[in-house]
């Protein structure tokens, strides 16, 4: 599949799913090989958080002890804050590693003219770009400070109007696409970080509604799927929970155990489903990036002309 190709709104959708159909097995196989350990660590952190949440928060409710939470923080305040800090740092670094995977994958896909590359190539790509990734992270945070303020105001304004609710995915899509295309351009090693953000805005504004509309709808689909699956899981889980609760003289430990199982299963399933859907959304943004880049730079067209010249 040719990534450098001009596309319209419908082609952004069709080619995203076509890419997943032909390369999804290879893509996700190496994603879980590289990022599986990180996901496992996040799950372990999530497990302990859920244990704390069910034992302290829900335990205080079941035992009618409203001071249990305050007492726990007073007794374990230092450890509680340390765990939150460590979890935040770990989640930030791991999220960055997983976030850039589709960009690195698509870059190697172009270099190898297909999926003729493996885990070692992807790991080497991570290593060779580690400095760029942290530069992108800190630069992105600096840019996000004013952008998030504007984004928050805009979403609030849209949220209080019925028609505006329909535009929220577009706003989120524009914000996300701006960042992803800046990253992908920065990884091309042709521009500095600030020029990459500027070039990203130039690409996005050149075909704003088809590009941003496509990304926004992918975010909307991802959001709906995750919430529908989550609601279904919670319904079945809480049926089990209330079944235990409705028994005469229920054992508090059995009630807590049922609640813990529900929340842990939903949490783990949510992480795995979120990782899958997030990659689909990022692949769509990659398709948009290479399409807009082709329209601006005619990379594939020039390559085809050069090959004709070589053949002569």
Q: Which is nearest to 179 in space by CA: 166, 165, 193, 158?
A: 193
Helical segments of the chain, H only: 9-52, 59-62, 68-111, 119-128, 130-159, 162-165, 168-186, 193-206, 208-245, 252-297, 299-311
Averaged pLDDT of the chain: 83
Per-domain residue ranges of the chain: 9-311
Task: Give Cβ neighbours of residue 23 (< 8 Å, ≥ 6 apart).
Answer: 1, 109, 115
Q: By three-state DSSP, how is residue 250 classified?
A: coil
Spell 182-192 as b/e; 16+ CB within 10 A means b.
bbbbbbeeeee
Least confident span in 11-15, 82-86, 272-276: 82-86
Tell me what pLDDT residue 121 has: 95
- pLDDT at residue 9 above 60? yes
pLDDT: is 244 or 21 the higher one?
21
CB neighbours (10 Å) of residue 31? 20
Cα separation values, 275 from 70, 109, 185, 284, Å:
34, 20, 23, 14
> How far is 147 from 135, CA to CA, in rounded Å?
18
State pLDDT tens for residues 122-147.
999 999 999 999 999 999 999 998 88
Tell me what pLDDT residue 70 has: 66
Tell me what pLDDT residue 149 has: 87
Q: Which is nearest to 101 in space by CA: 3, 184, 1?
A: 184
- In degrees and rounded to multiples of 5, residue 17 shows phi and psi of -70, -30
- pLDDT at residue 24 above 90? yes
> How far is 216 from 9, CA to CA, in rounded Å?
12
State pLDDT tens for residues 244-282.
656 556 565 665 666 667 777 777 788 888 899 999 999
Percent of the chain topping pLDDT 90: 45
Percent of the chain topping pLDDT 70: 79
State pLDDT tens for residues 188-212.
988 999 999 999 999 999 999 999 9
> How far is 312 from 302, CA to CA, in rounded Å?
16
CB neighbours (10 Å) of residue 134? 12
pLDDT: is 39 or 31 the higher one?
31
Dihedral (Cα; 175, 133, 189, 27), 10-degree rounding? -80
């Amino acid at each position: 599949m040719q990534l450098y190709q001009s596309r319209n709104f419908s082609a952004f959708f069709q080619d995203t799913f076509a890419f997943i159909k032909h390369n999804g097995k290879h893509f996700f196989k190496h994603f879980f090989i590289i990022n599986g350990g990180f996901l496992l660590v996040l799950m372990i952190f999530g497990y302990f958080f859920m244990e704390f949440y069910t034992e302290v928060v829900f335990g205080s409710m079941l035992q009618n002890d409203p001071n249990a939470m305050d007492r726990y923080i007073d007794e374990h305040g230092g450890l509680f804050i340390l765990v939150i800090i460590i979890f935040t740092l770990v989640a930030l670094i791991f999220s960055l590693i997983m976030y850039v995977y589709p960009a690195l994958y698509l870059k190697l896909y172009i270099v190898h003219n297909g999926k003729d590359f493996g885990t070692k190539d992807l790991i080497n790509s991570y290593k060779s770009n580690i400095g760029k990734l942290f530069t992108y992270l800190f630069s992105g945070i600096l840019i996000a400070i004013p952008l998030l303020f504007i984004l928050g105001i805009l979403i609030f304004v849209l949220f209080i109007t019925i028609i505006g609710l329909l535009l929220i995915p577009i706003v989120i899509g524009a914000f996300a696409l701006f960042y992803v295309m800046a990253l992908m351009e920065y990884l091309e090693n042709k521009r500095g970080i600030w020029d990459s953000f500027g070039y990203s805005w130039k690409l996005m504004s050149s075909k704003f509604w088809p590009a941003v509309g496509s990304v926004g709808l992918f975010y909307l689909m991802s959001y709906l799927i995750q919430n529908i699956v989550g609601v279904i899981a919670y319904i079945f889980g809480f049926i089990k929970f209330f079944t235990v609760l409705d028994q005469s003289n229920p054992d508090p430990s059995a009630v807590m155990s049922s609640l813990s199982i529900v929340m842990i299963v939903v949490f783990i399933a949510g992480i795995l489903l979120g990782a899958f859907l997030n990659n689909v959304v990022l692949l769509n943004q990659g398709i948009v990036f290479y399409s807009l880049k082709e329209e601006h730079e005619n990379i594939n067209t020039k390559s085809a002309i050069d090959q004709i010249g070589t053949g002569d």
